[in-house]
């Protein structure tokens, strides 16, 4: 039955954690919330796995010669053009990029 299949499919997608009101990137609240709530949430586990499935378990940096495993999943954007959070509704192809840990660190300027 299509309805029961759809129900089972919806149930398999974890709900994203609520984003605290007035959260701003780079603040102490963000620095706590992002790693301790968002990044450990079932939603993030689900969507990052989706990105790795779709983009392949390989570094998307064309210049990468010696990928550092495991792969990381990098946010291309955190908010959309209207300033709304993309967190909790990331597109696994357009909002996220699979990078090895070396290229990911380089992307963040480490």
Half-sphere exposure of 108 (CA within 13 A, CB side): 12
The residue from 64, 85, 86, 88 that contacts Zn ion (CB under 5 A) is: 64
Report yes or no: 51 and 73 within 8 Å, Cβ to Cβ: yes
Q: How far is the CB of 97 from Zn ion (least distance, A)?
A: 8
Looking at the Cβ atoms of 6 and 77, the one nearer to Zn ion is 77
Q: How far apart are CA 94 and CA 97, in angstroms?
A: 8
Considering only residues 12-31, where is the footprint of Zn ion by CB under 5 A? Answer: none
Q: How far is the CB of 69 from Zn ion (least distance, A)?
A: 10
The residue from 47, 55, 74, 95 that contacts Zn ion (CB under 5 A) is: 74
The residue from 38, 67, 85, 88 that contacts Zn ion (CB under 5 A) is: 67
Q: How far apart are CA 109 and CA 55, in angstroms?
A: 23
Q: How far is the CB of 109 from Zn ion (least distance, A)?
A: 10
- Please give the full DSSP string across 69-102, using - where no structure is assigned: SSPEEEES-SB-TTS-B-TTS--TTTTEEEE-HH
Residues that bind Zn ion (CB under 5 A): 59, 61, 64, 67, 74, 100, 103
């Amino acid at each position: 039955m299509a309805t029961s299949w759809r129900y089972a499919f919806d149930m398999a997608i974890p709900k994203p954690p609520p984003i605290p009101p007035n959260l701003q990137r780079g603040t102490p609240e963000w620095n706590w919330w992002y790693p301790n709530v968002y990044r450990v949430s079932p939603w993030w586990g689900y969507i990052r796995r989706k990105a790795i499935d779709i983009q392949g378990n390989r570094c998307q940096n064309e210049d990468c010669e010696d990928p550092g495993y495991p792969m990381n999943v990098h946010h291309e954007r955190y908010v959309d053009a209207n300033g709304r959070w993309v967190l909790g509704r990331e597109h696994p192809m357009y909002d996220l990029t699979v990078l090895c840990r070396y290229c990911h660190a380089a992307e963040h300027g480490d």
